[in-house]
Amino acid sequence: MTRAVLLDCLPWLGLLVVLSACLRWVVWVNRARFDWRRLGRLHRDQVGSVQSLSFVLTLPLFVMIVMFIVQVSQLMIGTIVVHYAAFAAARSAVVWIPARLAGGEEGENRISWYYADQEARDQAAPILNPESEDYGPMEGGVTYVVAPGSPKYQKIASAAVLACMAVAPSRDLGLQVPAQASLAPGVLQEAYRQMVPEADLNSRIPKRLENKLAYSAIATTVEIRFFHSNAEPPLVTYGLEDDVAEFYFNEIGWQDPITVTVTHQLALLPGPGRLLARTARRPDGRPDEVQAAISRQNGVYVYPLTASATLGNEGEKSVIRYVYYAY
């Protein structure tokens, strides 16, 4: 690791040599002579001018250390915020119900569709053939991935986006709020104005809130999975004795655990972000994992933060008695 740091410092050492040569040339052009006794007296001098010179020489290093401390603090805060965003999104997935329901149909509270997760381990598909000897309740279950494209999915994603706004940059990056969230900036600005009446004195606050929302909406993604046990009715549309469907294609189990994974591209500070994005050559030949994770998006260096939260679905159990046909 020490060798890698030294190798990365070689360009700066070369720059120091060039600057020293330029200084030597300036001294030669002006026909100046070094007086080592005067330099010694200057070194021993304790008046304000010498202290100012020492401060100027150490200021860049001090500022860089402070910026790295701020950057590490920002990463720690971002990690906490993304974990909260995952919880907020999972909570929205299990309890959100729209205020308007047309004819008792909860169309806005349903997902679009889902598919079995091929990468999940220990998948055990249910037996749907009543003539099979294994038909009926069984162990295991299937993990499904919820596809986007429904108002319910948008509500879940919105919960994560609003939570990640706390760590989004407020400067103007030229980003626009997505069309489906066009009303959100006005709502946020009014809510902020109600909580902080002094906000009216600062005309830049509304634009900064809009910038944070625009970046968070673009830099935040969600992935929704749920596990359905084979001890429960299979997630297929079928009728019982009164020809009422047990499940529709866009419904999940009433008590299925839902896992929401939130990924936010945390915007790094300009200085530390640029340095961390440079490849550090390690003496053991292993790749630089930090640099590999950092990328430049939307004009800023970003580092991905990911968190997951699992909550049980808060649906009501069906009043229709479920009976396997084989019994």
pLDDT of residue 212: 92
Q: Tell whether the torsion through CA atoms of 176, 179, 181 and 182 is positive or negative.
A: positive
b or e along 61-84 (b: 16 or more beta carbons within 10 Å of the residue's beta carbon)?
A: eeeeeebeeebeebeeebbebbbb
Dump pLDDT digits (tens) for 100-157: 554 456 666 778 888 888 888 888 888 877 777 777 778 888 899 999 988 889 889 9
> DSSP letter string over 103-140?
TTB-GGGS-S-EEE-TT-SS--PPP--TTSTT-S--S-
State the residue for tokens 């529709």: 248
283: left (phi over 0), alpha (psi -120 to 50) or beta: alpha
Domain limits of the chain?
A: 67-312
Enter the pTM of the model. 0.74
**Burial grade of 126 (CB within 10 A; 0-12, 13-18, 19 or more):** buried
Which residues of the chain, if any, have pLDDT below 50? Answer: 1, 102-103, 243, 320-322, 324-327
Taking the mean position of all CA atoms in its chain, how far away is CA 294?
A: 13
Length of the chain measured in residues: 327
pLDDT of residue 325: 43
Give me 5's structure tokens.
């740091």
pLDDT of residue 322: 47
